Amino acid sequence: MSAPRRFLVALAGTEDAALPEQVSEVVGSGGSAVEVALLHVAEAGPRELAVHDPVVRRGPWPLPKRAAIEHRLADADDEATNVLLSMWQERFEVAMPGVTITHLVAQGRPEQEIIAAAQRLNADAVILCARPRTGPTERGPRSVGHVARFVVDHSPVPVLLIRRST
């Protein structure tokens, strides 16, 4: 019996709802011969830029401790990530019945974490969506976002880049 094919699907939360059907068309439903790992990367950078010590403050004193604020932000991130991954798992289960689906969560720079996860999983391919566009798509390297561009350039395995259906 051969090993199942493993696909890493990177999710940012802006993907087209048709993503599971598009993936199924390309890789097949495969049943137990296919494993899909859903990856969400929480970026820590924006939180570090948040101002926690405003110059002018209205409200109850004393100021909440930074650790309490960080804990509440981390809890909110975890909850949002769980909701996102659960929603996509349900969609993939409908589109690809019998496929083994796992969740992965990482924190850091998405482009680097996607590459690292593909290596750790020994994925056969990475699947991600190009960032949503509001206007016409440019040709060349700027036709995708910086995360997709980095993954395409540095992935140790083939990359399936899916554009939003129109």
Report cis status (omega within 30 of 0) of the bond before 4.
Answer: no
Q: In this model, does residue 32 exceed pLDDT 70?
A: no
Token pair listed for 42 = 């929480």
**pLDDT grade for 63, boundaries at 50, 70 and 90:** low
Number of alpha carbons in the 13 Å side-chain half-sphere of residue 98: 9
Neighbouring residues of 39: CB distance < 8 A, sequence distance ≥ 6: 8, 9, 10, 11, 104, 105, 106, 113, 114, 117
Asked whether residue 2 carries a pLDDT value surpassing 80, the answer given is no
Instruction: Report the range of poorest mean pLDDT among 46-50, 70-74, 128-132, 147-151.
Output: 46-50
Whole-angstrom distance, CA of residue 27 vs CA of residue 83:
25
Which domains are seen in the chain, by residue range?
5-162 (3.40.50.620)
